[in-house]
Structure 1
Amino acid sequence: MDKQTHRSWMGALKLYTHRPVITLLLLGFSAGLPYLLVFSTLSAWLRDAEVSRSAIGFFGWVGITYSVKVLWAPVVDHLPLPFLSRWLGKRRSWLLLAQGVITIGLLLMAASDPEQHLVMVALCAVLIAFASATQDIVIDAYRIESASEEYQGAMAATYILGYRLALLVAGAGSLLIADTSTWAAAYTSMAALMFGAMLVSLTIAEPVPAERTGNPLTLFTREWLYETVVAPFVDFFKRNGQFAILILAFIGLYRLSDITMGIMANPFYLDLGFSKTEIASVSKLFGFIMTIVGGFVGGLCVARYGVHRTLIAGAILVASTNLLFVQLAYTGPELPWLIAAISADNLSGGLAATGFIAYIASLTNRAYTATQSALFSSLMTLPGKFQSGFSGVVVDHIGYAGFFGYAAIMGIPAVLLAIVVYKKRNRE
């Protein structure tokens, strides 16, 4: 059984008062802010500019950048930045660099017009996604190094809360600004917030990483490459044996359902006839509240019942809530159905994401935090991001109702694998 299974409810609640848990709230906001700005918020801007749904769907491939971050995670994990690392420490220096690039990318995008310079918008989106993925690498390592395993569930919950607060700002906030002003003003405002996140990075404490045995290695030698690139993967397979393949398959399929449908959500609402203000208002009120509830309940469930049972519940909820979008496609622009769909989607997403982040932390060797956590989070998003690139084409051929039904079916393998992983853990 999971270690946290026997913790009391009061003990679980007290975890949320510790400094590392609170710090993850701020870092979660920084991580979440750029995500929608190259994903569903960008898709709303593109649809507003009358870019075709098929082209919007292909913009989903920008998100593959997040899914291949494992390729440069070893460099982030081991390579100190000149001057900055001596001043701030390795984790905070990389964090500040990534946030600076995101800020610049958002300002460049704000100065671009999708109708006239679609390629420029795409290049800016790739730049922001690359820097955002690098920021995720650092934050994942920071979270795991900042506290022991008993805090990881609570840290995942506050991270999700901060992340969802940022999604609210980057999603509903951007839509409201765009509806009352311009999309350029919306993206400029987001760049200003990202600059604020840079100031926060200067105030947080640098974590103490796990010490590794052996002498320090010269950069980019054969020994260094083995230690930074090969050793993290060898370690994972040694610890898990043949079951490692099933774990990786589970990680790759767990978020397939909601990532597949995500990029088409805002174009779907707009095509149904909802205004940007209506979409923003529902997301702000009902979506945000249910996200907080989902993340908080997920953190409590991890502490009280363990990671694996939380994962099973999350997988079932994420897959089934897609059916509400099917119903919305048939009912049309009915506000109660929009509220129900967004609320259920955010509730299930918050709970599932909290459990999944805690699960990834439990798999990671603290000697290879950045590389191994990047491997897991990359696999988590790669299948869904690849499929999302074809989402616009699918919608054009079978309609929105068929598309969301297809997304629901994509969640079934995750439910089955969650049960298998849970049974294997119990046998151990």
Structure 2
Amino acid sequence: MSQRQWVSFANRRVAFMLPLGFASGLPLALTSGTLQAWLTIAGVDLRTVGIFTLVGLPYTVKFLWAPLMDRFVPPWLGRRRGWMVATQLAVAAGLTAMAATGPGDRPWMLGILALAVAFLSASLDIVFDAYRTDVLQPQERGLGAAVWVNGYRLALVVAGAVALVLADSIGWQRTYWLMAGLMAAGVVTILLSPEPADPGKPPQSLMEAVWGPITEFFSRPEAVGFLLLIVLYKAGDAFAATLSTAFLIGGIGFTATDVGLMRGVGIAATLLGALVGGVAMARMGLFRALLAFGVLQAVSNLSFMALAWAGKNYPVMVAAVVFENFSGGMGTSAFVAFVMSLCDHRYTATQFALLSSLEALGRVLLGRPAAELVETVGWGQFFFVTFLVALPGLVLLWRLRGSLDNHRPPESKRATGLAPASPAVE
């Protein structure tokens, strides 16, 4: 790693991405998988537990209220950090209320609180994404995204696996109180975090906050191409991942323990891949990183095709899972940096929420077609098709190569004079 890359890693703008990513990821498991475990152990019927899955809805529609967080500026700590403090404290309070309520005889009360926490957590994600985009300079975005992903994944482990172990020892109520304390303690990180050098001028009206991000984005000549690239870039990777667990257990015959252990290995490979990808981006630039990592993502799907042909073969499974997760982590760091590069600082919260929701929508819609394809052609051919699905995104990426590394939203151009941001350390 070059001296400049080490300087970028040591930059406190990048370093703060780790605890902020942790705070972003912590509430997710506490309102989904961990909450389902609590309900199940408390004896809540399966139908009610199933209804609780709707608690995650705010994460998918958070772009609806993102304009409010662009338009209004709290009277403390600025537009981004002010909202970060308010929403993070609110999430901590919500988790405390969940702990105090519990399933009891009225699980619907816990459901309402969990929905409120999910809404507040989604709001926290909106402003976190906006802050990350505003505070990181262009050459830091890949590494900053990678460090963020590591913090986020660590939080999922703490709020998932660690919380389940703690609940067996100290009870669910104390476990949720402890998690609420972690959220509240994270406010210290926000207070110490640097203010963005170019926070952008807030929209002057709610109408501008709603329509300004859309009209500004589509005023760019490459707008439609960028939107298609967001949908297509990770489509092959997402298509293959939709049924990966079903493939390993039902298609090949590995045990649930085998798959559980490989999930841990996969998470480690993803985190390492994100860090390697973020560091590599500092030298490669956005286009070359997207292309190289995208090719690796596509080829990694062929490793699962090889596993389908090899059958229940542990070395091949380990190689396929590690390769797929490592390349996926690299692709994620480049993809998040790409989305950040498309945001105008005036409308960062809304534009990032809209663009990331567009990518997530495509991922959600792939499950049913994937299952039907497997039933028609079998597992080996399915993974070859997922490789083919990744190719249109790479072709489009190549056609947009002249636009990516030099692209700046209009407001950013005026602020920077089209010059790269200085690598000076905060």
Q: TM-score range by the shorter chain?
A: 0.7 to 0.9
- Taking structure 1 as reference, are residues 179 and 203 closer, same or farther at Cα in structure 2, changes over 3 Å only? same
Deviation at 1:9, TM superposition (A): 3.2
Partner of residue 342 from structure 2, selected from 363, 375, 379: 363
Alignment partners' CA distance in 2, 1:258 and 1:145: 28
2:70 maps to what in 1? 77
The one of 380, 386, 402 aligned to 2:359: 380
Task: Note closer, same or farther for the CA distance 1:282–1:169 as it changes in structure 2 (3 Å cut).
Answer: farther
The 5 Å alignment of 1:223-234 reads: 224-234=205-215
1:316 equivalent in alignment to 2:285: no
Change (3 A) 1:46 1:246: farther
Q: In the aligned structure 2, how far is the partner of 1:145 from the partner of 1:304?
A: 21
Aligned length: 400
Q: Which has the higher contact order (CA 8 A, sep 6+)?
A: 1
1:293-332 matches, within 5 Å, as 293-324=272-303
Amino acid at match of 1:96: V
Which of residues 64, 69, 85 in structure 2 aligns to 1:96? 85
Taking the aligned partners of 1:156 and 1:362, their CA distance within structure 2 comes to: 12
1:107 deviation in Å? 6.2
Of the three residues 120, 128, 151, the one matched with 2:140 is: 151
Alignment partner of 1:274 is 2:256: yes
1:134 alignment partner, one of 120, 123, 127: 123
Distance between the aligned counterparts of 1:77 and 1:33, measured in 2? Answer: 24
Aligned equivalents of 1:174, 1:398: Cα separation in 2:
41
Identify the residue that residue 418 of structure 2 maps to in structure 1.
Answer: none
AA in 1 matched with 2:276? V
Query: Counterparts in 2 of 1:174-253, with a 5 A limit?
Result: 190-207=179-196, 209-212=198-201, 217=204, 224-238=205-219, 240-241=220-221, 243-253=222-232
- Give the superposition deviation at 1:291: 2.5
Match of 2:10 among 12, 17, 21: 17
Decide which of 382, 395, 401 is 1:422's aligned counterpart. Answer: 401
Stretches of structure 2 that go unaligned for 5 or more consecutive residues are 408-426
**What is residue 5 of structure 1 aligned with on the other side?**
none
After superposition, the C-alpha distances for 1:122-159 in whole angstroms (9 at most, x for unaligned) are 76665444333322221122123224323223322322
Give the TM-score, by structure 2 length.
0.73
Q: Structure 1 residue aligned with 2:329, among 339, 345, 350?
A: 350
State the one-letter code of the partner of 1:274.
A
How far residue 336 of structure 1 moved from its aligned partner, in angstroms, is: 4.4
Distance 1:206 1:411 in 2: 38
Q: Which moved more, 1:141-150 or 1:304-313?
A: 141-150
The one-letter amino acid of 1:419's match is W
When the two structures are superposed, what TM-score results if normalisation uses the length of structure 1? Answer: 0.73
Q: 1:427 to 1:351 in 2, by over 3 A?
A: closer
- On the 8 A contact 2:242/2:366 being kept in 1, the answer is no
Q: From the CA coordinates, give the structure whose radius of gyration is larger.
A: 2
| 1:67–1:290 distance in 2 versus 1, CA, 3 Å | same
Q: CA deviation at 1:307?
A: 0.8
For the residue of structure 2 that corresponds to 1:86, the secondary structure is coil
Give the percent of matched residue pairs that are identical in Structure 1 and Structure 2.
34
Tell me the residue number matched to 2:415: none
Task: Flag the 1:204–1:197 CA change in 2: closer, same or farther, 3 A.
Answer: same
